[in-house]
A and B are shown apart, each in its own frame.
Chain A
Amino acid sequence: MNALKPVLSKPWIWSWLAAALTFAATALFTGGSSAFGLSQATLTFAAFSVMVGLGQMLVITLGPGNVDLSVPATITLSGTLALKFMETESSLILPGLLVAIVIGLAVGMANYALIKLLRIPPIIATLSMSFLVQSLAIWSNRGLRIKPPEALATFTTGTVFGVPNIALAGLLLSFVIWWLLERSIYGRWISAIGQSPFAARMAGIPVDGTRFVTYVLCAVLAAICGYLLASFSGGAALNMGTEYLLMSIAVVVIGGCAVAGGNSNVPGIWGASLFMFLVVSMLNTYGFGAGIRLMLTGLIIIAVIVAASRPLNGRK
């Protein structure tokens, strides 16, 4: 049992454990026949949650009060504008991605400008920004469903050796963020700011610069997610970002990151994203009605969070 201790003390282990259990429960119910299809679907949809979850994680690491509520609107705007820009032309795929990233940059900068210049708390600033961004999306979309370029649609729904391309893209982004968080100076800085902004300032950390970069990164990740999601689902829709508001925050919390900031991890985001999708598919497989499904989802999430927060209490 002692050999397991270092693994059990990791805050992300609970989300992975929960994901594995849910997967087993679902696969067993269908007699194992659906295991392959289920894992492909799970990987794909989890990857979208991972992309927004990573950005939200960085923001939440900045400490109490820091959260980005403009994530869904950014997803919608970037999906809409990028597809509109590409006009189903396969040659414009990369410039289209660039358009999405620029939208992310712009939203991130605008968010931090509101927070800093007008001294609005982040939760209000990003919420108001999300209305502005969503209105832009509505105005430019006008109810038309624009199709993605053929090659891009094929790529986003395709697989390499059975692994969905979207999951690989999510993995690549996760690795970048993991490196930033665990290996780079930037990661130390956001963790320091999350623990005590005053102490961080007096230790020579450029607090505003670091927070600015973090909000921009979060918006860029949401924009990339929007670009891929719109291409994957055959076109941008105005409500495509809606479910990612709570999802982005839930995966951070379930993944074992400290809600009060200062302490985050990337593996937990994956475990939590897989788990969040698997819970819904499990309850669907069991054939529960919508009401019971939502209730059970809530209860299961609470159970995982309680389990995940225990090692933290023990350490104190």
Chain B
Amino acid sequence: MNMTLEPPPVVSARGVRVAFGAVKALDGVDLDILPGEALGLVGHNGAGKSTIVNVINGGLTPHEGRLAYGGQESVAGGVGSARAGGVRCVFQELSLCPNLTIVENTRLMHRGLTGFGWRKRALALISQTLGDIFPGHRIDCTGTVGDLSIAERQMVEIAINFMTVTEAPRLVILDEPTSSLDAALAEQLMAHVRRFVGAGGSVLLISHILGEILSTSTRIVVMKDGKVVVTKPVAGFTAKSLVEAMGSVIKEKGHAAARAVAGDAPEVINLPASRGSVCGFSARKGEIIGLAGLGGHGQTDTLLSLYRARSSNWWPKRPEDIAFVAGDRSLNGTFPLWSILRNLSIGDLGALSSRFAIDHGREEALGEDWKAKTAIRTPDMHNPILSLSGGNQQKVLFARALSTPAAIVLMDDPMRGVDIGTKQDVYAIIRAEAEAGRTFVWYSTEMDEICLCDRVYVFRDGAIVAELKGEEISEDHVLAASFSGEAA
């Protein structure tokens, strides 16, 4: 080890500019990532985080500026030179092929796995890496990716990127890696990141969960409107100062305990206990019900079957009863060919129509109304939905459900990838709507959100294992209930 020479940065970006039409996604960004450093990258939705990631991993050629990997100027650009520079990227939208097995997906990322017996070698490697990062995982590496839950897919994708076949990764980019992982898995991942960085690797970590950023990064970069606004070692930040640097102020967290739902409010959902559950599932008018537990333990299925039972697949019906907010946007949320406005208005076209004909004036008005209410970042609601960043697409899905008269709103972990400012706004809307008599059923992998609920059902293996009310709702109780059946 030559300590006298300053090692060159793994990646160095200078004056990078990227524009999508009129929107300046990156406006002159300088960024260095040094070996042995975990760089935390934070900022609002649309601040340019995902764009700089795509520039670094070679997926996007900057319109201006230079890029160097390990001190070598990247001339050709593109994914090839990024990979040659040891850059690996775990995408926010998962990028595994669902029809292939985990081993086969490994081969896609690692060309070095060739010749006779590559499956065997790949299986050994991926099993070992998965075990290193997520000890005690229960993933069968010979199975197809399509059979995995979204959390397990995320785990596999992370493991594939940390794997060493012919050469070790020098920089691993993690874009919202814990968005679908529960607290225990997220902690395992963060521990692995610290080990990896300690051994001289580099990590670029993007997360909306500030606790992770503060506990794991060595240096933090704050982005805002396509620019880097602050770069400081982690010691210079507290959660509060970090949020202030991003440009939003944490609003006072009002605990749900302040809200008392009248015990005699009519029940809008009442299901008997399913097999293995300790109690039935019920919800009163105006209640916010949380679905907690480790990721992928039947919460989403519960929401889907609730929705299916209360909406017709054959007969048109105004959504007066129930509405759904997707968490997995590309699976059951957005309509990719459509504009933002059409994606919003599809929730309740009946309200915008007379005699089955859609009134375009009323549709426009609805769009402007919700654009203002949820601060959707776009110059024009007629732009394609895919022109929005992930968090802004999520706002559109929220607006779709909240603009209906539905008495019950189901939410399938909808805050994935949404920035803190917007989250606070949406929480406020949810509380106001609940006061007005709407019922929310909210599956969330984030503890802060579970704590906003009036009542919480904890799920394990598809069954309800605990019901928590008011003061009982806390991280400890939820975790205790989630693991309670472990010994049985």
The yes or no verdict on A and B being binding partners is: yes
Q: How far is the CB of B182 from chain A (nearest CB, A)?
A: 23
Residues of B within 8 A of A195 (CB): 335-338
B346 touches A198 (CB 8 A): no
B333 within 8 A of A: yes
- Per the bound structure, the CA–CA distance linking A209 and B312 in Å amounts to 9
Contact of B346 among A183, A186, A192, A208 (CB under 8 A): A192
Closest to A201 in B: B313
A186 touches B356 (CB 8 A): yes
User: Within B321-359, which residues are at the interface with A (CB < 8 Å)?
Assistant: 322-324, 326, 331-338, 342, 346-350, 353, 356-358
Closest to A183 in B: B357
Residues of B within 8 A of A191 (CB): 335, 337-338
Select the residue from A179, A206, A207, A262 with max chain B CB neighbours within 10 A: A206
Contact of A199 among B308, B311, B314, B334 (CB under 8 A): B334
User: Within A166-208, which residues are at the interface with B (CB < 8 Å)?
Assistant: 179, 183-186, 188, 191-192, 195-196, 198-208
A74 within 8 A of B: no
Residues of A within 8 A of B356 (CB): 184-186
Residues of A within 8 A of B357 (CB): 179, 183-184
Residues of A within 8 A of B349 (CB): 185, 188
B316 touches A206 (CB 8 A): yes
Residues of B within 8 A of A207 (CB): 313
**Chain B residues at the A interface, C-beta cutoff of 8 Å:** 304, 307-308, 311-317, 319, 322-324, 326, 331-338, 342, 346-350, 353, 356-358, 400, 404
B332 touches A198 (CB 8 A): yes
- Per the bound structure, the CA–CA distance linking A207 and B324 in Å amounts to 16
- Per the bound structure, the CA–CA distance linking A151 and B342 in Å amounts to 47
A263 within 8 A of B: yes
A196 touches B317 (CB 8 A): no
Residues of A within 8 A of B353 (CB): 184-185
Residues of B within 8 A of A196 (CB): 332, 334-336
Residues of B within 8 A of A203 (CB): 324, 346-347, 400
B358 touches A263 (CB 8 A): no
Closest to B355 in A: A184
- Per the bound structure, the CA–CA distance linking A202 and B412 in Å amounts to 11
Q: How far is the CB of B413 from chain A (nearest CB, A)?
A: 14
Contact of B307 among A184, A185, A202, A206 (CB under 8 A): A202
Binary contact readout A262-277 vs B (1 if CB under 8 angstroms, 0 otherwise) = 1100000000000000
A199-B326, A202-B326, A203-B347 as given contacts; A188 in contact with B342, CB under 8 Å? yes
Contact of B314 among A184, A209, A262 (CB under 8 A): A209
- Per the bound structure, the CA–CA distance linking A208 and B316 in Å amounts to 10
- Per the bound structure, the CA–CA distance linking A139 and B444 in Å amounts to 62
Q: How far is the CB of A201 from chain B (nearest CB, A)?
A: 7
Q: How far is the CB of B192 from chain A (nearest CB, A)?
A: 34
A188-B346, A196-B335 as given contacts; A204 in contact with B323, CB under 8 Å? yes
Q: How large is the interface on A (under 10, 10 to 19, 20 to 34, 35 or more residues)?
A: 20 to 34
A204 touches B313 (CB 8 A): no
Residues of B within 8 A of A263 (CB): 337
Closest to B336 in A: A195
The 24 sampled A-B contact pairs (Cβ below 8 Å) are: A179-B357, A184-B353, A184-B357, A185-B316, A185-B356, A186-B356, A188-B346, A191-B335, A195-B338, A196-B334, A199-B326, A199-B333, A201-B308, A201-B332, A202-B324, A203-B347, A204-B322, A204-B323, A204-B348, A206-B314, A208-B313, A209-B316, A258-B337, A262-B335
Q: How far is the CB of A57 from chain B (nearest CB, A)?
A: 16
B332 touches A204 (CB 8 A): no
A202 touches B314 (CB 8 A): no
Q: How far is the CB of A112 from chain B (nearest CB, A)?
A: 11
- Per the bound structure, the CA–CA distance linking A258 and B336 in Å amounts to 13
* Shortest Cβ-Cβ A-B pairs, 4 listed: A209-B314, A198-B332, A195-B335, A204-B319
A199-B333, A202-B332 as given contacts; A184 in contact with B316, CB under 8 Å? no
Closest to B308 in A: A201
**Chain A residues at the B interface, C-beta cutoff of 8 Å:** 179, 183-186, 188, 191-192, 195-196, 198-209, 212, 258, 262-263
Residues of B within 8 A of A206 (CB): 312-317
Residues of A within 8 A of B316 (CB): 185, 206, 209
B317 touches A204 (CB 8 A): yes
- Per the bound structure, the CA–CA distance linking A263 and B384 in Å amounts to 14
Residues of B within 8 A of A208 (CB): 313-314
- Per the bound structure, the CA–CA distance linking A202 and B400 in Å amounts to 11
Residues of B within 8 A of A258 (CB): 337
- Per the bound structure, the CA–CA distance linking A170 and B216 in Å amounts to 68
- Per the bound structure, the CA–CA distance linking A183 and B349 in Å amounts to 11
- Per the bound structure, the CA–CA distance linking A125 and B335 in Å amounts to 28
- Per the bound structure, the CA–CA distance linking A84 and B334 in Å amounts to 50
B311 touches A204 (CB 8 A): yes
Closest to B318 in A: A204
Residues of A within 8 A of B319 (CB): 204
Residues of A within 8 A of B336 (CB): 195-196
Q: How far is the CB of A251 from chain B (nearest CB, A)?
A: 21
- Per the bound structure, the CA–CA distance linking A179 and B307 in Å amounts to 31
B335 touches A199 (CB 8 A): yes
B332 touches A199 (CB 8 A): yes
Residues of A within 8 A of B333 (CB): 199, 202
Closest to A203 in B: B346
- Per the bound structure, the CA–CA distance linking A195 and B336 in Å amounts to 7
- Per the bound structure, the CA–CA distance linking A191 and B349 in Å amounts to 14
B358 touches A185 (CB 8 A): yes
Closest to B319 in A: A204
Residues of A within 8 A of B322 (CB): 204
Q: How far is the CB of A108 from chain B (nearest CB, A)?
A: 15
Closest to B359 in A: A183
Residues of A within 8 A of B317 (CB): 204, 206
Q: How far is the CB of B320 from chain A (nearest CB, A)?
A: 10
Select the residue from B322, B324, B348 with max chain A CB neighbours within 10 A: B324
Residues of B within 8 A of A202 (CB): 304, 307, 324, 326, 332-333
- Per the bound structure, the CA–CA distance linking A203 and B346 in Å amounts to 7
- Per the bound structure, the CA–CA distance linking A201 and B307 in Å amounts to 9
Q: How far is the CB of B63 from chain A (nearest CB, A)?
A: 18
Closest to A212 in B: B314
Residues of A within 8 A of B312 (CB): 206, 209
Q: How far is the CB of B472 from chain A (nearest CB, A)?
A: 32
Q: How far is the CB of A170 from chain B (nearest CB, A)?
A: 23
Residues of A within 8 A of B313 (CB): 201, 206-209
Q: How far is the CB of B99 from chain A (nearest CB, A)?
A: 15
Residues of B within 8 A of A198 (CB): 331-332
Contact of B347 among A184, A186, A201, A204 (CB under 8 A): A204
Q: How far is the CB of B45 from chain A (nearest CB, A)?
A: 21
Other A-B pairs beyond A199-B331, A201-B332, A202-B326, 5, CB < 8 Å: A185-B356, A191-B335, A199-B332, A207-B313, A209-B314
